[in-house]
Amino acid sequence: MQLGMVGLGRMGANMTRRLMRGGHTMVVSDLSADAVKGIAGEGAVASSSLDDLISKLNAPRAAWIMVPAGDPTEKTVQALISTMQAGDTIIDGGNSNFKDDVRRAKLCAAKGVHYVDVGTSGGVWGLERGYCMMIGGPKEAVQRLDPIFKTLAPGRGDIPRTPGREKMAGTAENGYIHCGPSGSGHFVKMVHNGIEYGMMQAYAEGFDIFKNATSKELPEDIRYDLNLPDIAEVWRRGSVVSSWLLDLTAMALTENPTLSEYSGFVQDSGEGRWTIQAAIEEAVPAEVLTAALYTRFRSRQDHTFAETMLSAMRQKFGGHVEPKAQAKKS
């Protein structure tokens, strides 16, 4: 299948590579001519602009946007709407607010263009592991793009089947689902990231307790000098708290048990805030997720080992590099 990819950053470039490995034809565009040239050297079709990209796609066209959420995505969508024709599809695979998806879908529909929002999880590891995708948009467009989603997804792999799942249809076991109408894909991904905040915070606080088990404030007979890399590693082996986040935590601690290369300054990419806003609008208590978000705010003022571990996890799964902490004023 042919697909246009707009944005060749950490995820866009690797998604392009995975799709080409799966036999798809990729037409690529990026603000960096060097990025386009590099991927073209691996087999993609280069384009010099969005108009050029559209001209090189066969109708009905499909263009996947993988640029930063917010203004860059908005401008790209608007530019594509002005160029595309009825039957074409715009796919936003970034981390847009689901309410923006609903608005954009209406603009596209007025011109007969489909709008598909794809919450995409996989980070810098997606090229080899595949991408978990939560998809929103018209059923017709989503079904036509199924070969793309199937190639990007992890597939069943060696994960044991959930008992009773054999009686259920759908693509969830392959790592992607059609959640519903426009906006639903990013809504599900938004809550996914809110939960991620909470899980990361739980690991971070637990290991902070371990690190401080040598505190001189404790009676000497209950001070423990614990091996944090070993604890993370043993929990990966059959523990109920095992997860991919724990795998990445174990990796970071093995590389440097003190995590001294991480500042402890922890960014939030927006989805955590939107998750809490959705909880407020729905009157749903979300104490853990809210506390995890507030901890990230606090991390930009005071840094604990827990925040340092959050920085390490973000770098491991998404390639995020947190800014260095500013020196405190006296």
Residues designated catalytic: 189, 196
The two three-digit tokens of residue 9, written as one number: 């950053």
Euclidean distance between CA atoms 270 and 91, whole angstroms: 20
Sequence-ordered list of residues with C-beta below 8 angstroms from that of 266, at least 6 positions apart, any chain: 295, 296, 299, 300, 307, 310, 311, 314, 322
- Is residue 139 classed exposed, middle or buried when 0-12, 13-18 and 19+ CB atoms within 10 A define those classes? exposed
In 137-289, DSSP assigns E strands to 176-180
Half-sphere exposure of 47 (CA within 13 A, CB side): 21
Cα gap 147→23, rounded to integer Å? 10
Handedness of CA 38, 43, 45, 50 (dihedral sign): negative
The tokens describing 308, both together, are: 């340092």
Q: Which two three-digit tokens encode residue 99?
A: 């309410």
Strand partners, 116: 91
Q: Could you give phi then psi for residue 143, rounded to 5 degrees? A: -65, -40
User: How far apart (Å, rounded) are the C-alpha atoms in residues 154 and 176?
Assistant: 9
Residues 64/93, Cβ–Cβ less than 8 Å = yes
Query: Measured between alpha carbons, how far is 283 from 18 in angstroms, rounded to an integer?
Result: 41
Which two three-digit tokens encode residue 300? 């930009």
β 2-6/25-29 pair status: parallel
The answer to whether 5 and 29 have CB atoms below 8 angstroms apart is yes
